[in-house]
Amino acid sequence: MRQTALDARDAVAGAVGQGVGAGGAGPLASAHTRGASIDVTGVTVQYAGAAAAVTRRAGTLAVDDISFQVRPEEIVVIVGPSGCGKTTLLKVVGGLLRASRGSVRITQPGAAAPRVGFVFQSDALLPWRTAGQNVELAVRLARESPRVAAARAAQLMQDLGLGDSRDKYPSQLSGGMRKRVALARALAYEPAVFLMDEPFSALDANTRIHVGNFFLRIVERFGQSVVFVTHDIDEAVALGDRILVLSRGPGRLIGTFDVALPRPRDYYKSRFEDGFRELQKRVFDLIG
């Protein structure tokens, strides 16, 4: 049985935590963010399509018997070919999709229901709210005051280079800017677990480096556990403590690689560290 799930409140928040303190001038305490672990056991997802329902035959097998653990404060990156079930697996971990078989357990000392947050491939912003209001909403859903919400949103948007866009609506922003607003909104909620589905894919190269480093500093400081899905093997090595490789669909776990690069780590400069290219090639060769 699951101990916690990503409920509707978390889905709107798109949560991934950090922010400013009650006074609006510094980082929040990390009581909500540290110490969560994830146990995924035998997760299988089989979609029953319309034809399968009529013929009573098995539907499409998307994910097949996947098990892994995420230790507290660990970044686990999932890679694999398109269509291998990476996003499906992430949705099961986040409670957005029920597994056909298997279980997911998320635990955190002292928390009956650890905060779990999801950053989607799409920005999922509310179009009738300004960028700043979208970020503030996540803080308000965490039951903070309007003053704290406004201060935290302002700080995060400044940190992500969005300070001049606070009063603009999503339709007035570029795709990359909307993605950064979604990330700021997610960071504002301060979950213990980040579930991230290619969150930097819409960003240009320079912004991707900046945002990637910003995210690394948050995780390294506040100790969230992360499951991160990407197609980019370089990004997987740059971010991860471990890399999980899935096979072509149906997705099966076919390889696990430890990343020995030291922390704190730089999202871009780590690519020039000893061992980076060797590990990148091993992962690439396994995916095929």
> Is pLDDT above 80 for 33?
no
> Is pLDDT above 70 for 18?
no
Token code pair at residue 77: 């990156």
- Give the pLDDT band of residue 31 (cuts 50, 70, 90): low
Token code pair at residue 257: 């690689």
Round to whole Å and give the CA distance between 165 and 178: 10
pLDDT tens figures, 105-156 = 999 988 888 888 888 888 888 999 999 999 888 888 777 788 888 888 888 8
Round to whole Å and give the CA distance between 179 and 239: 19
CATH number of 8-287: 3.40.50.300
Q: Are 235 and 186 in contact (CB under 8 A)?
A: no
Round to whole Å and give the CA distance between 228 and 233: 12
> Is pLDDT above 60 for 178?
yes
CA 140 to chain centre: 21
- Peptide bond between residue 250 and the one before it cis (omega within 30 degrees of 0): yes
pLDDT tens figures, 263-274 = 999 999 999 999
Return the higher-pLDDT residue of 30 and 13. 30
pLDDT on residue 12 = 36
- Give the pLDDT band of residue 50 (cuts 50, 70, 90): low
> Is pLDDT above 60 for 260?
yes
Q: pTM, whole model, 2 decimals? A: 0.82
> Is pLDDT above 70 for 243?
yes
Calculate the dihedral angle through the C-alpha atoms of 172, 176, 180, 186, rounding to the nearest 10 degrees.
Answer: 100
Round to whole Å and give the CA distance between 179 and 80: 23
> Is pLDDT above 50 for 4?
no
Q: Which residue blocks in the chain are alpha helix, DSSP H?
A: 8-13, 50-55, 86-94, 131-141, 146-159, 175-188, 205-222, 233-239, 276-287
Q: What's the whole-number mean pLDDT along residues 190-205?
A: 88
pLDDT on residue 221 = 84
Q: What's the whole-number mean pLDDT along residues 231-244?
A: 96
Return the higher-pLDDT residue of 23 and 79. 79
Average pLDDT of every residue of the chain: 83
> Is pLDDT above 60 for 11?
no
Q: What's the whole-number mean pLDDT along residues 183-194?
A: 85
pLDDT tens figures, 84-109 = 999 999 999 999 999 999 999 999 98
Query: Is 19 exposed, middle or buried (CB count within 10 Å of its CB: 0-12, 13-18, 19+)?
Result: buried
> Is pLDDT above 60 for 5?
no
